[in-house]
């Protein structure tokens, strides 16, 4: 567990009698237990600075990114910073209500999306919302988590610490400094925003004290590919067109060409993806990490948080929240507890308050709708259980357990790219032409799968290319969050609740939400995909020789699921999972050598 900090590292505001008094860092002990809403939100300073990233756009112009700032007018120094760097402020918007930035006729920012400004500015924080390069009011190009986007946020942190140049306009020469800033920055954001937080933390930049990545990518390869298999959800070049501004569309053809060429349909792990793989640089992270992810997030797959978490240095102080939702912000599934926890987290890491948040449970996991379980650390599983596939008297069906089948035991199926996992898991005791199904007996006691499972499959293919997919299934009745429906496990209500202070043009009141649940008799709890032609590595896809055995090992989605007593754990193996991946170009027959196939599961309990 993290070491508790007792000394102040930053200036803190002490609520005393007639207002706020700023005291130096040498003052000790710190009498504050939490920051309070002492400052005027209505009178807060709202301004924009354009920060030089140190990079040049393809047209030769220096890239400046727009950072919209709101900060207390009563404090002129020592103000901590909450930053959300995003490509979405002028396009899709942020939050459940898709809020966008708004400005007055002079270009001064009016609406700051989300509740961070409403809640934290009265408590003495500044909020800085950065437009990533090539989006909204920033110039340059959208490069999908690449060098320019990471520099977009990193350069603003440098400016807040006096190491970069900021300007009063997008193209002018008048400069602006951040003398009001304490230099302590916490980055937060969901999806692409949280992804940038991961990427900037992986640079080890000084001044970044904490990150709160929510549903964030840790490797862009794993957003578009899975062990060589290609997701059907889009392409890097297509994503640029969703968020880029007019100058980006006009000037960034060369960047788009790099993205297209670096993302071949072969599924290879290229230099383009390597640049956008923050896991390989996780050893540089110094900031604390409060990671949040939906265990049923089928947009940013959960392998992204699992591999990031595992790669963080042991010295990094950390905390994790895992929900049963899909791609959803915790503000929309556990609002009161989330705001309170985030408040304590920022107070500790950005203000220096010794409130003990680092000694609280390091893991909070939603076990069933609105039922949460705390653990001291994550994952709680300390060992890996190897499970084998043993056939029964029914072709393609068998037992999942500790006993290995005799050498040379095989089972076969034929790829049907028109169906996928939600078809495969049906009728698990019957033969299917398109998948294999293996289940444990009814569990005598609950088990908990917590972490990243891994499967090794040995198979022959009747054609030169083939996909191999695997899904873990909880077979048994349950009420779950309806993560496949609109809202991905939540429903939006007509009532509103307020979180902080409002001003004209920026309300602190947001639509309430509640869990959206459904009853099931079986539920996929983890899935993984691969291209068999990447059996020798991700860098190059190889053609398969029909009839030749190939062995591939790949990860399933990171998860944390408790399977009740009386249920069965199932493993289903198929080929093209039509809901998520593209076919290999044919419909091969796959013969799986069960004696050389195994599943390794991070397990609490026993089967």
Give catalytic residues, as residue numbers: 191, 297, 327
Q: Which residues pair with 473 in a beta bridge?
A: 524, 570
* Rounded CA separation 573/257 (Å): 36
Which residue do the tokens 């005393």 mark?
A: 16
Q: How many CB atoms lie within 10 A of CB 454?
A: 18
CB contact set of 481 (below 8 Å; sequence gap of 6+): 296, 323, 324, 325, 369, 489, 490, 515, 516, 517, 518
Handedness of CA 336, 337, 343, 346 (dihedral sign): negative
The three-class DSSP label of residue 525 is strand
Q: How many CB atoms lie within 10 A of CB 257?
A: 11
Handedness of CA 29, 33, 34, 35 (dihedral sign): negative
Tokens standing for residue 317: 């102080």
Tokens standing for residue 557: 């989605």
Angstrom distances, CA of residue 299 to CA of 215, 234, 351, 467? 9, 11, 34, 20
By the 10 Å C-beta count (0-12 exposed, 13-18 middle, 19+ buried), 587 is classed as middle
**Complete edge-to-edge strand list for the sheet that includes strand 45-56:** 175-176, 166-167, 45-56, 62-71, 126-131, 79-86, 181-190, 208-214, 288-294, 318-323, 363-368, 371-375
CB 439 within 8 A of CB 527: no
> Could you tell me which of 474, 446, 456 has the C-alpha nearest to residue 386?
456
Tokens standing for residue 283: 């050893």
Q: How many CB atoms lie within 10 A of CB 12?
A: 25
Angstrom distances, CA of residue 377 to CA of 320, 321, 361, 534? 8, 11, 7, 34
User: Alpha carbon 28 to chain centroid distance?
Assistant: 38
Q: How many CB atoms lie within 10 A of CB 463?
A: 16
Helix (H) or strand (E) holding 158: helix 147-160
The three-class DSSP label of residue 278 is coil
> Could you tell me which of 15, 17, 75 has the C-alpha nearest to residue 45?
75
Tokens standing for residue 195: 């992804």
């Amino acid at each position: 567990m993290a070491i508790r900090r007792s000394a102040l590292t930053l200036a803190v505001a002490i609520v005393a009698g007639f207002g706020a008094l700023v005291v130096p860092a040498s003052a000790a002990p710190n009498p504050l237990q939490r920051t309070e809403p002492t400052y005027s939100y209505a009178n807060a300073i709202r301004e924009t600075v354009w920060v030089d990233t140190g990079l040049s756009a393809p047209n030769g112009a220096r890239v400046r990114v727009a950072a919209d700032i709101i900060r207390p007018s009563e404090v002129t120094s020592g103000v901590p910073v909450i930053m959300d760097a995003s490509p979405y402020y002028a396009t899709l918007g942020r939050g459940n209500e898709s809020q966008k930035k708004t400005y007055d006729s002079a270009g001064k920012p009016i609406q700051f999306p989300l509740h961070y400004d409403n809640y934290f500015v009265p408590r003495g924080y500044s909020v800085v919302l950065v437009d990533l390069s090539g989006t909204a009011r920033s110039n340059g190009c959208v490069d999908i988590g690449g060098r320019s986007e990471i520099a977009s946020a990193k350069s603003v942190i440098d400016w807040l610490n006096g190491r970069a140049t900021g300007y009063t306009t997008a193209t002018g020469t008048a400069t602006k400094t951040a003398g009001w800033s304490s230099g302590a920055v916490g980055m937060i954001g969901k999806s692409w925003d949280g992804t940038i937080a991961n990427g900037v933390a992986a640079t080890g930049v000084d001044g970044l004290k904490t990150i709160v990545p929510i549903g964030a990518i840790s490797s862009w390869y794993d957003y578009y590919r899975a062990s060589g298999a290609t997701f059907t959800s889009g392409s890097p070049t297509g994503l640029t067109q969703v968020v880029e501004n007019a100058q980006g569309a006009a000037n960034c053809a060369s960047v788009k060409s790099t993205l297209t060429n670096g993302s071949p349909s072969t599924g290879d792990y290229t230099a383009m993806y390597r640049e956008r793989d923050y896991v390989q640089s996780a050893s540089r992270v110094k900031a604390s990490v409060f990671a949040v992810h939906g265990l049923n997030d089928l947009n940013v797959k959960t392998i992204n948080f699992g591999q990031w978490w595992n790669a963080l240095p042991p010295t990094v102080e950390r905390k994790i929240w895992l929900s049963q939702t899909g791609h959803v912000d915790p503000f929309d599934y556990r609002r009161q507890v989330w705001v309170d926890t985030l408040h304590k987290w920022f107070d500790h890491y950005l203000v220096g308050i010794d409130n003990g948040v680092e000694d609280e449970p390091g893991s909070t996991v939603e076990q069933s709708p609105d039922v949460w379980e705390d653990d001291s650390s994550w994952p709680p599983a300390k060992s890996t259980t190897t499970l084998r596939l043993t056939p029964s008297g029914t072709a393609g069906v068998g037992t999942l357990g500790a006993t290995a089948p005799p050498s040379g035991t095989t089972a076969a199926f034929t790829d049907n790219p028109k169906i996928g996992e939600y078809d495969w898991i049906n009728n698990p005791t019957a033969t299917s032409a398109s998948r294999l199904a293996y289940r444990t007996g009814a569990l005598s006691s609950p088990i908990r799968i917590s972490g990243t499972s891994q499967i090794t499959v040995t198979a022959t293919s009747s054609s030169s290319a083939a996909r191999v997919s695997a899904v873990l299934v909880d077979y048994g009745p349950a009420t779950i969050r309806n993560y496949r429906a609109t809202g991905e496990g939540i429903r939006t209500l007509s009532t509103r609740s307020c979180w902080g202070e409002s001003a004209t043009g920026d309300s602190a009141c947001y639509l309430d939400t509640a869990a959206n649940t459904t009853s099931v008799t079986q539920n996929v709890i983890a899935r993984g995909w691969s291209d068999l032609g990447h059996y020798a590595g991700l860098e190059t896809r190889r053609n398969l020789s029909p009839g030749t055995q190939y062995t591939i090992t790949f990860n399933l989605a990171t998860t944390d699921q408790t399977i009740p007593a009386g249920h069965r754990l199932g493993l289903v193996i198929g080929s093209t999972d039509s809901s998520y991946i593209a076919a290999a170009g044919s419909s091969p027959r796959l013969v799986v050598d069960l004696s050389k196939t195994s599943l390794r599961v991070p397990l609490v309990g026993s089967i």
